[in-house]
Amino acid sequence: MYCNLNLETGLTKGLTAYFSHSLSTYGTKNEKRIFKFLSNELQMEVLCPNQHLGDLKYLSNYAEIASEVDILFIWSESNDIGLSKGCFDEAKAAIEKGKQLFLIEVHGDELHLRWISNLIKEFEGNLNDYGIVICSEAEKYKLK
C-alpha cells in the first residue's frame, strides 16, 4: 500500500494531523516552519504536543492521542529514519490503528515527506535512538 498526499487535489483539507517530534526539537526554527507548512499548505488542523497538549506525564498518553488523528507526521531529531522512544511509541500506536504515517525531513529550504510502511524496534535501551521506520522515496516541497 502506498499513500500520496497529492497537494494539488486538496485531499488533506479538513483532516486532523498529529505532529510527532522529539523534545529536543521543541521551539526550534524548523519546528515552526514544519508546523506552518502542515497547517497552511496542507490545510489541516495540526496537533503539536508542546503547543496544544502540554505535559501529559506519560508517553503513553501522547501515543493514545496520536493514534486518534487522521494522519501522523513524524520529525526525528536525527532528521532521518531513526526515532526516539516517544516518536516510536506514537507511530506504533497510530500504525496499529491503521492510520497513515509520514516521516518528515528538512534539508535547507526543502521539506521531504516519506510515507511510512513499517516500524522496527532497534535499540530498546536507548531512548534517543529507539527504532527506525521503513519508508518510501521522498516527495519534496519548498518551505517558507
pTM of the model: 0.83
**DSSP letters spanning 22-70:** -GGGTT-HHHHHHHHIIIIIS--EEE-IIIII---SSHHHHHHHHTTSS
Render pLDDT for 127-143 as a digit per residue (tens, 0 to 9). 556 788 888 887 888 88
CATH class of residue range 13-142: alpha beta
Domain boundaries, the chain: 13-142
d(CA 32, CA 108): 14
Say if residue 1's pLDDT is above 60: no
Report in angstroms the alpha-carbon separations of 33 from 2, 29, 46, 106, 144. 26, 6, 13, 10, 7
Render pLDDT for 4-28 as a digit per residue (tens, 0 to 9). 555 555 567 778 899 998 877 888 8
Cell reading at 65: 492521542
Q: Specify whether the CB–CB gap between 71 and 17 falls below 8 A.
A: yes
d(CA 69, CA 126): 27
The backbone torsions φ and ψ at residue 108, rounded to the nearest 5 degrees and listed phi first, read: 60, -120
